[in-house]
Amino acid sequence: MPLWLLATIVVVGLAAVALLTHLLGWSRARAFVDEAEAMRAWDREFSADPARRADLLPGGHAAVVYSARGTGLVWTMGLDSTARPLAGARLRQTRRGLTIRFPDMAAPSVTLPLAPSERDDWHRRLQETLT
Amino acid sequence: MTDVSYPDVVTLAVPLFVAAILAEIVWIAVRGRDGHAGRYETRDAMTSLLMGTGNVVSGLLLGFIAWGFFMTLWQITPLDLGTAWWVVVLCFVLDDLRYYWVHRFGHRIRWVWASHVNHHSSQHYNLTTALRQTWTGTFTFMMIVRAPLILLGFHPAMVLFVGGLNLIYQFWIHTEAIGRLPRWVEAVMNTPSHHRVHHGRNAKYLDANYAGVFIVWDKLFGTFVAEDDREKVDYGLVHNLGTFNPLRVAFHEWVAIFRDVTRPGLTLRQRLMYAVAPPGWSHDGSRETSDQIKARHRTAPPGEAEAPGLARP
């Protein structure tokens, strides 16, 4: 098969999959309904260190989780979720909200969308867990 | 024998891959996403497809290394089995055995896992997941495992041809749209059900069902675990990725190995272990290997039968 034909099929295929899944509504990000769901998502990642408590962030796309070993963040990834301990993370306020950078190439950062009025409060609360 | 050539079957199958993915999307849309037909998510699917594209590109750029190695072996070996149809069939079966071991190494040796991890990094299980392939396979040096086939007299072009057929076979089993197949098929062949188990991050499903085409290898070497209807497969990695960026998907474990190996204060043995021990090994016990995760999930007292997939080694 000529390379130009292969490249065309790949590009058209990628575009078709992206368009079709988006039109079907499969690009909408998941949000946690409540703290219990966020804690289950944490336990799914860290079953040896289960969540004791969680604070859901506005919008439900992330939650701060408190476990025996410390504090962590669980957040939605598309329709699914992932989580990381907050140890070693760095916080920065941005125009969209609060960005958390992890020392992990597999989960480099997550931006928590927060209204300007919410940023200081969440920044302080998260910073307290890191110190 | 000098002029042996076979079609590049994987490239020829690309239109089929695209058509099948679109058909699976339509099927899931018709059946409803909450059913058992499967799930798609746009960014996840795009990442998988870009990983597949990158795999083809890396093959074009780096394929000459493996090919040069194979042709060197071919010059050395005095054996030549020819190109009869039964030789191709035998080559296919033996190459599938080769695949089983390379795949097993890919889960048990971190250096090889660094390449293979991206295939397991989706939390979805659909036909795009099949195409979420490595960009760094050359650097695992697993081409060495193909050496015996060539030294036995199978032409390198034939070995790559049957390897392509093996890859194509494995495409269609990456789906939740197919439940279980007739008993004889499930007994002999790798199927969607068996391979769903392989992609599971549930403790009992870790390090199981390494087969490419024939599931008999897992039954022979003690790594077979049947899909348990009481425990739905949870797809993905033990610690799932927090990125859809294909570059990070492709290279994150290599970077993690580099960081671990270059940590201050480790012995030479510990540095080596971070590269070649099973994924999850750590010098201070701060992480868990799959064996340790399984041990934590065992419930039966020592001496009594444990659930499949959790049995003591």
B159-182, pLDDT tens digit by residue?
999 999 999 999 999 999 999 999
**A21 shares a domain with A59:** no
| Tens digit of each residue's pLDDT (9 = 90 or more) over A54-65 | 999 999 999 999
Whether B1 is in a domain gets the answer: no
Whether A70 and A110 share a structural domain: yes
Give tens-digit pLDDT for A28-40. Answer: 989 999 999 999 9
CB atoms within 10 A of CB B9: 16
- Determine, for residues B123 and A20 on separate chains, whether the beta-carbon distance falls below 8 Å: no
A15 and A57 share one domain: no
Q: Is the pLDDT of residue B300 over 90?
A: no
Contacts of A16 in chain B (CB under 8 A): 18, 22
Q: What is the pLDDT of residue B204?
A: 95
Taking residues B223-247, what's their average pLDDT? 97
Per residue in B43-75, pLDDT (tens digit) is 999 999 999 999 999 999 999 999 999 999 999
Tell me what pLDDT residue B35 has.
60
Residue A48 and residue A18 share a domain: no
Mark whether A117 and A54 lie in a shared domain: yes
Closest CA to B143 of B114, B107, B101: B101
Q: Looking at residues B141-168, what average pLDDT do you find?
A: 97
pLDDT at position B139: 97
pLDDT score for B302: 72
User: What pLDDT digit, counting tens, does each position of B95-122 carry?
Assistant: 999 999 999 999 999 999 999 999 999 9
Cβ distance of B241 and A82 shorter than 8 Å: yes
Tell me whether residues B53 and A24 touch, CB distance under 8 A. Answer: no
Question: Based on the domain organization, do A2 and A62 belong to the same domain?
Answer: no
Q: What is the mean pLDDT of chain B?
A: 95
What is the rounded average pLDDT of the residues B67-89?
A: 97
Question: What was the pLDDT predicted at B92?
Answer: 98
Residue B32 has pLDDT above 80, yes or no: no
Question: What type of residue sits at position A54?
Answer: A
Question: What would the two tokens of residue B69 be?
Answer: 């190695």
Q: Which residues of A touch B294 (CB under 8 A)?
A: none
pLDDT of residue B307: 78
Residues of A in contact with B45 (CB under 8 A): 17-18, 21
In a domain, B251, yes or no: no
Closest residue by Cα to residue B257 from B280, B240, B241, B234:
B280
The per-residue DSSP string of chain B comes to: --------HHHHHHHHHHHHHHHHHHHHHHH-TTSSS----HHHHHHHHHHHHHHHHHHHHHHHHHHHHHHHHHHH--------HHHHHHHHHHHHHHHHHHHHHHHH-HHHHHHHGGGG--S--SHHHHT---S-GGGGTGGGGGHHHHHTT--HHHHHHHHHHHHHHHHTTS-SS-----HHHHHHB--HHHHHHHTB-SGGGTT----SSBTHHHHHHT---PPPTTS---BS-SS--S---HHHHHHHHHHHHHHHHT-TT--HHHHHHHHHSPTT--TTS-S--HHHHHHHH--SPTTSPPPTT----
**CB spacing of A105 vs B256 below 8 angstroms:** yes
Same domain, A16 and A78: no
Indicate whether B238 pLDDT > 70.
yes
pLDDT attached to residue B309: 84
A3 and A52 in a single domain? The answer is no
How many domains would you assign to chain B?
1
pLDDT at B124 over 90: yes
Q: How many domains does chain A have?
A: 2
Whether B127 maps to a domain, the answer reads yes
**What pLDDT is attached to residue B248?**
98
Residue A129: its pLDDT value, please?
82
Name the residue range of residue B155's domain: 9-177
Q: Which residues pair with A100 in a beta bridge?
A: A91, A110
Domain hosting residue A80, numbered range: 35-130
Out of B12, B22, B243, name the one closest to residue A20 (CB). Answer: B22
Using CA atoms, how far apart are residues A124 and B3, in angstroms rounded to an integer?
71
ipTM: 0.94
What is the structure's pLDDT at B174? Answer: 98
Predicted confidence at residue B33, as pLDDT, reads: 56
| Residue B272: inside a domain | no
Average of per-residue pLDDT across A39-53: 96
Mean of the per-residue pLDDT values for chain A? 94
Same domain, A16 and A48: no
**CATH assignment at residue A91:** 2.30.29
Going by pLDDT thresholds of 50, 70 and 90, the confidence category of residue B2 is low
Task: Kindly tell me if the per-residue pLDDT of B313 is higher than 70.
Answer: no
Is A125 found in the same domain as A83? yes
- Residue B36 banded pLDDT, cuts 50, 70, 90: confident
In the sheet that holds A97-101, the strands lie side by side as: A90-93, A97-101, A109-113
Is residue A118 located within the same domain as residue A68?
A: yes
Does residue B36 lie in a domain region? yes
* pLDDT for the residue numbered B61: 96
Residues A40 and A81 in one domain: yes
Nearest CA in chain A to B295: A48
Residue type, B312: R
The whole-number pLDDT of residue B176 equals: 96
